C-alpha cells in the first residue's frame, strides 16, 4: 500500500497544478516530516510533464525561499527559473575563479589509452612490413631465423607450437622439438625482425591452448 501511494505521489507531482491539494498527498502511515512542508513551494511552479527535468536538490533562489529541499523532485525549466538559476553562478565565476581548467579525463585513463594506442601503432607498422601468418597451438611450423649472435647466419628451425602468449607487439610463441633425443623448446617474439620467414607445415588437432603436457609424453609426440 505504501508503494502504490508513493507512485501516486510521484505522478501527482509530475502533472499536478497549483490547485492540486496537498490533502491528496497526505497518506496515513507514511511518516515523512519533510514531505508536506516541502511539496508546497514546488507546486507553485507551473508543471509541464513533457519538459519536466529531474534535478537534484537545488536551493531555490528567488522569492526569498531559503528552505533546502532534500529529496529529488520534478522541476520545470521555465525561462524565468533558468535565468534565476544561471545568473548567480556566472557572476561568481568571473569574479573569483581563476582560469577555468579544460575538461580532462582521469590520469590513469589517459595513461592506459596512450599505451594502448602505442601498441596499435606498433602492430600496424609491423604488419605493413611483413605478413605474419596466424599461428595457433598445435601447428607445426618451420622458421628461418637470422641469429645476430652467430655472425648473422640464417638457420632453419622446426617444431610444434605449444603456446602462444598474446601481448600486442610483444606476442611470443614457443616451439618444441626433439633434436637428437633431447627435447628442445624455443621462445620467439612473433614480430621480431630476426624471423625472416614463418611457414605452417602441418596442423595437429589439439584440445588445449597450452600443450605443456607434451613435456611428460614420449618423444614421438614432440618430434616433427
Q: Which spans of this chain sit near another protein (rule: CB under 8 A)?
A: 97-102, 104, 107-108, 110-111, 114-115, 118-119, 122, 146, 148-149, 151-152, 169-170, 189, 192-194
Decide whether 100 or 218 has the Cβ nearer to another protein: 100
Question: How deeply is 211 buried, as exposed, middle or buried, from its count of CB atoms within 10 A (0-12, 13-18, 19+)?
Answer: buried
Decide whether 35 or 157 has the Cβ nearer to another protein: 157
- Residues 6 or more apart whose CB falls under 8 angstroms from that of 196 comprise 144, 145, 146, 154
Decide whether 90 or 100 has the Cβ nearer to another protein: 100
Decide whether 2 or 107 has the Cβ nearer to another protein: 107
Least Å from the CB of residue 181 to another protein: 31
CB 148 within 8 A of CB 207: no
Neighbours of 145 (CB within 10 A): 19
Query: What residues does 183 pair with on adjacent strands?
Result: 178
Least Å from the CB of residue 85 to another protein: 18
Decide whether 80 or 197 has the Cβ nearer to another protein: 197
- The Cα–Cα gap between 221 and 144 comes to 23
Strand duo 139-147 + 195-203: pairing: antiparallel
- The Cα–Cα gap between 161 and 148 comes to 23
Least Å from the CB of residue 191 to another protein: 8
Least Å from the CB of residue 107 to another protein: 6
Decide whether 14 or 123 has the Cβ nearer to another protein: 123
Least Å from the CB of residue 118 to another protein: 7
Least Å from the CB of residue 111 to another protein: 5
Residue 188, C-alpha cell as written in the block: 620467439
- The Cα–Cα gap between 10 and 49 comes to 11
Amino acid at each position: 500500500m505504501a508503494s502504490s501511494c508513493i507512485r501516486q505521489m510521484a505522478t501527482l507531482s509530475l502533472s499536478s497544478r497549483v490547485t492540486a491539494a496537498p490533502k491528496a498527498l497526505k497518506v496515513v502511515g507514511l511518516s515523512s516530516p519533510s514531505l508536506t512542508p516541502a511539496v508546497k513551494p514546488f507546486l507553485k511552479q507551473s508543471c509541464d510533464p513533457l519538459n519536466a527535468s529531474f534535478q537534484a536538490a537545488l536551493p531555490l533562489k528567488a522569492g526569498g525561499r531559503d528552505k533546502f529541499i532534500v529529496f529529488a523532485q520534478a522541476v520545470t525549466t521555465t525561462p524565468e527559473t533558468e535565468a534565476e538559476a544561471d545568473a548567480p553562478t556566472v557572476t561568481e565565476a568571473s569574479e573569483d575563479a581563476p582560469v577555468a581548467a579544460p575538461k580532462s579525463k582521469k590520469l590513469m585513463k589517459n595513461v592506459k589509452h596512450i599505451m594502448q594506442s602505442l601498441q596499435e601503432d606498433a602492430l600496424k607498422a609491423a604488419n605493413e612490413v611483413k605478413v605474419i601468418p596466424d599461428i595457433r597451438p598445435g601447428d607445426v611450423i618451420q622458421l628461418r631465423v637470422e641469429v645476430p649472435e652467430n655472425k648473422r647466419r640464417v638457420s632453419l628451425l622446426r617444431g610444434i607450437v605449444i603456446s602462444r602468449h598474446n601481448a600486442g607487439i610483444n606476442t611470443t610463441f614457443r616451439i618444441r622439438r626433439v633434436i637428437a633425443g633431447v627435447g628442445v623448446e624455443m621462445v620467439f617474439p612473433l614480430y621480431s625482425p630476426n624471423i625472416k620467414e614463418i611457414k605452417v607445415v602441418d596442423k595437429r588437432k589439439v584440445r588445449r591452448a597450452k600443450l605443456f603436457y607434451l613435456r611428460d609424453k614420449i618423444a614421438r609426440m614432440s618430434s616433427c
